[in-house]
Amino acid sequence: MTLNLTQYLESIRSDARLDHSDETVIMSELEAHIEDSLQELIGSGLTKEEATKTCLAQMGSTKSIARQIYEAYSQGSWKQVLLASMPHFLFGLLFVLNWWQYPTWVSIVLVLILATTAYGWFHGKPAWVFPWLGYTLLPVLVVGLMLLYLPRGWSFLVLPVYFPLALWWLIRIVIMTTRRDWLFSSLMLLPLPIIIGWLLAISASGRFSEESLQRLYYFAPWIGLSFMGLALTIAVFIRLRQRWLRVSLLAASSLFTLSLVVYHSTGALINLVFPGLLIIMWGGLLVPLLLERRLKNK
């Protein structure tokens, strides 16, 4: 196969963003189809170079083919819908049933999330694993909150070390996920502004007191509802085929959920918290897109 055809197929493979389980078979079938077309064109009297140009012209642009392949194979099964929406559902269930106050249930959910994420990550990184991946960042956030309770002298020593390490870990995960598909990176970061919003509603300083616990009891049903909404969003996302619909869904769902968080925690949407959370939300959607373009240009 000529260099032009190799680059042509590689461009399609990159833009189609197929699961590893499907990629080999689909690209092999496409390559076989191109080879058959080349042989027919060469058999008709064209040179190899002429046949290659004619074949590529007949096939069309790589972006158009990649989009068709993506729309044909990107829709997940109902099993994948269940797997992808499960972490948001479980996290919401902790608050709807007030199980968040029992360390045993919280530990079971966290261990299940970490184990499921590890399994999916090391078995081809299917689309359903990325919603789980976002919750693996929770232990990092919890450690950061615990550091706030250190004596002031220790805080000045530990926090300058913690924040660069936490940021490095976040960037590393985002880069690895973006290499697979920037949309999945946004999917992973989807709960981040929601979690930050509820933490600010419960305790703006990050320190938890008796008053903070009372707020948590009060907000628990709404916290659960917000994560149930994320579970529904993921379910619809997995079943959609068109990328523009998936992007629109994530943007609309995030905006609606953030509005729910801010309104029920402050009583109004006109305050500094709302635009701050919006910036985090749009960062989660746009930064992976810009990062993917930079990674491809390297």
Q: Measure the CA–CA gap between 158 and 138, rounded to whole angstroms.
A: 19
In eight-state DSSP terms, residue 260 is H
User: What is the pLDDT, as a whole number, of residue 297?
Assistant: 72
Q: Measure the CA–CA gap between 105 and 22, rounded to whole angstroms.
A: 37
Contact yes or no for 236/247 (Cβ under 8 A): no
Confidence of residue 3 (pLDDT cuts 50, 70, 90): low
Question: What is the average per-residue pLDDT within 53-59?
Answer: 85
pLDDT per residue over 166-221, tens digit each? 888 888 889 989 988 999 999 999 998 888 888 888 887 667 778 888 888 888 99
Tell me which of 30-39, 117-126, 189-198, 265-274 is least confident. Answer: 265-274
CB atoms within 10 A of CB 65: 18
CB atoms within 10 A of CB 203: 17
Looking at this protein, which amino acid is placed at residue 222?
A: W
User: What is the pLDDT, as a whole number, of residue 7?
Assistant: 85
User: What is the pLDDT, as a whole number, of residue 267?
Assistant: 64
CA 20 remoteness from chain centre: 17
In eight-state DSSP terms, residue 75 is P
Confidence of residue 269 (pLDDT cuts 50, 70, 90): low
In eight-state DSSP terms, residue 272 is S
